[in-house]
A and B are shown apart, each in its own frame.
Chain A
């Protein structure tokens, strides 16, 4: 049975997708019931599930009668649209890249309708759509999706504020990240219109719902950094750094409060398509070290080979550090470790500004590390990449360590003590929890510059204060100055 969902001409030689088939089969089975007069009986599963499938297929493919099919849907629903929304979400996750353009238009419409009725699981559907936007992809199809979704967020603002406020945080994360790409390349008038809308949305979240910005945590700052040259964001920066009271949000008095909130892994998933996620997870759970070459070539060809999309590597490194934490069984196996994949990704960068951002992505949680809220798995790849690169790729070790110290010195000069504390407790916990036995490999490395080694030794000498991390920063600093062996004394 030919499916009107999937563009077969563009996907010849593709095996039929069982999920797409289940939708079209339900439609063909129940087609006579999809016209008025609609029966008023309350359906029970499995009939209820099939009528949901049939109506979804009808809405997506029978565009002229979609309004009627929606009416039918509203009449038969008995589960708060839970099953229907889960089907739509699956279509987006599994079939989006293969469906006809007309189906994509319908999917946006379905999303709007589901927001309007506050469907159960509509947040998952919005996430699924956001994840289909590919970072650094300037194709018409991708820009169309950006424009449609920023439209959804602006058009349903009140409803989202009321019902799904966390979706506004998600939307903010996505569009701030996309703006970094869209502002870099703004000669095109189409991109210009999109960029304006994205800026308007993001600024509105900051101005009207700042507490939702805070929900993102420290990566909000990382994203804003790339937009400091955009006038609207320059003003936000000034407020963040100098006038935090302007946000009129109780409890917010300093940007360091954002630094201290670890960003939830769900934000990193927002910038990785489901297909990319499944390939990365496969690489990191099934492919043995030494067998990765072909997989790396395939991944690179598919996702990193498009002009200007190198910045995607930043999102991938954040994903690997913070959203893919292998179990002990994998860590002890021959499977390619996360640090090796990150090393390869850094090597893929050809632009300096991207490479710097990738290194920042790798070390970002180091800067604000606090054992009580942070996860050691987020900082593990950074240290292992530095230490394991020593024998063959000393220049990698050197450039990473140098970059880490550059961050300590320059990332936020006003709050340098906070960052020194973060980085030293990161080193401390990595050793204490046995991720590395010692830092002798670095400190005793002859090929590493004496200057870097000296700085490392100095930094490591601060680590024994981490045992008193509950003290106020000011107290801590003064005590540290007075007594280098504070930890031992306590």
Chain B
């Protein structure tokens, strides 16, 4: 199981991790619903894209386990984590997980690794925390 700080963009569905949902955006789309959520563990946060039924089922405070997830660009070129067609996300609990909101892995500028084709490396931090879901004091 990876911690969120360890995730790197990839074209493969190979991310197994666990996190807590901190916030949820507006549900968009009609035929296929999508919804962006802020999720985090004790090392980092990231934007997670919920798909169809997942948008209604999961609530802030839920602890989720992601199997075979993918961290890549969505259609608007934002870096998001999601289950994708081959992955699965399940609720394993509620509330009892500590988290940090910074760094946010979706707010990092990722560039192709010049020494390792197909891999990505961090170039710079765009924002220390989510610009979509600002931290709560």
Q: Write the residues of chain A forming the contact surface with B, with a CB cutoff of 8 angstroms.
A: 12-15, 275, 278-279, 282, 286-287, 290-291, 293-295, 297-299, 301-302
Contact B95 A15 (CB under 8 A): no
Residues of B within 8 A of A299 (CB): 95
Shortest distance in angstroms between A90's beta carbon and chain B's nearest beta carbon? 16
Residues of B within 8 A of A298 (CB): 60-61, 94-95
Residues of A within 8 A of B94 (CB): 275, 279, 298, 302
B53, CB-defined interface residue at 8 Å: yes
B57, CB-defined interface residue at 8 Å: yes
Contact B98 A15 (CB under 8 A): no
B137, CB-defined interface residue at 8 Å: yes
Expressed in whole angstroms, the Cα–Cα distance for A14 and B96 within the complex equals: 16
Expressed in whole angstroms, the Cα–Cα distance for A286 and B99 within the complex equals: 10
Contact B91 A15 (CB under 8 A): yes
Q: Write the residues of chain B forming the contact surface with A, with a CB cutoff of 8 angstroms.
A: 22, 53-54, 57-58, 60-61, 65, 89-92, 94-96, 98, 136-137
Shortest distance in angstroms between B82's beta carbon and chain A's nearest beta carbon? 14
Contact B136 A15 (CB under 8 A): no
Contact B90 A295 (CB under 8 A): no
Contact A294 B90 (CB under 8 A): no
Residues of B within 8 A of A294 (CB): 22, 60-61, 136
- 14 A-B pairs with CB atoms under 8 Å apart are A12-B53, A13-B58, A13-B91, A14-B92, A15-B90, A15-B91, A275-B94, A279-B95, A279-B96, A295-B95, A298-B94, A298-B95, A302-B61, A302-B94
Contact A12 B57 (CB under 8 A): yes
Expressed in whole angstroms, the Cα–Cα distance for A286 and B94 within the complex equals: 14
Q: A294-B136, A302-B61 are in contact. Are A14 and B91 (CB under 8 A)?
A: yes
Contact B54 A13 (CB under 8 A): yes
CB nearest neighbor in B for A283: B95
Contact B58 A287 (CB under 8 A): no
Q: A294-B60, A298-B60 are in contact. Are A282 and B91 (CB under 8 A)?
A: no
Residues of B within 8 A of A14 (CB): 90-92
CB nearest neighbor in B for A16: B90
Residues of B within 8 A of A290 (CB): 137
Contact B92 A15 (CB under 8 A): yes
Expressed in whole angstroms, the Cα–Cα distance for A316 and B96 within the complex equals: 18
Contact A282 B53 (CB under 8 A): no
CB nearest neighbor in B for A282: B96
CB nearest neighbor in A for B22: A294
Shortest distance in angstroms between A285's beta carbon and chain B's nearest beta carbon? 10
Most interface-central of A282, A290, A291 (chain B CB within 10 A): A291
Q: A13-B54, A15-B65 are in contact. Are A293 and B91 (CB under 8 A)?
A: no
Extra contacts, 6 of them, besides A13-B91, A293-B136 (Cβ < 8 A), are A13-B90, A14-B90, A15-B92, A279-B95, A301-B61, A302-B94
Expressed in whole angstroms, the Cα–Cα distance for A282 and B97 within the complex equals: 8
CB nearest neighbor in A for B67: A15
Of the residues A13, A286, A295, contact of B89 by C-beta under 8 Å:
A13
Contact A278 B96 (CB under 8 A): yes
CB nearest neighbor in B for A280: B95
Shortest distance in angstroms between A253's beta carbon and chain B's nearest beta carbon? 48
Most interface-central of B58, B89, B91 (chain A CB within 10 A): B91
Shortest distance in angstroms between B23's beta carbon and chain A's nearest beta carbon? 8
CB nearest neighbor in B for A275: B94
CB nearest neighbor in B for A296: B136
Residues of A within 8 A of B65 (CB): 15
Residues of A within 8 A of B91 (CB): 13-15
Of the residues B53, B61, B98, B136, contact of A286 by C-beta under 8 Å:
B98
Expressed in whole angstroms, the Cα–Cα distance for A302 and B61 within the complex equals: 10
Contact B98 A287 (CB under 8 A): yes
3 A-B pairs closest in CB distance: A298-B61, A15-B90, A282-B96
Residues of B within 8 A of A286 (CB): 96, 98
Expressed in whole angstroms, the Cα–Cα distance for A295 and B40 within the complex equals: 13
Residues of A within 8 A of B58 (CB): 13
Residues of A within 8 A of B89 (CB): 13
Residues of A within 8 A of B54 (CB): 13
Shortest distance in angstroms between B124's beta carbon and chain A's nearest beta carbon? 27
Expressed in whole angstroms, the Cα–Cα distance for A294 and B136 within the complex equals: 7
Shortest distance in angstroms between B4's beta carbon and chain A's nearest beta carbon? 16
Expressed in whole angstroms, the Cα–Cα distance for A406 and B58 within the complex equals: 47
Residues of A within 8 A of B92 (CB): 14-15
Expressed in whole angstroms, the Cα–Cα distance for A294 and B137 within the complex equals: 9
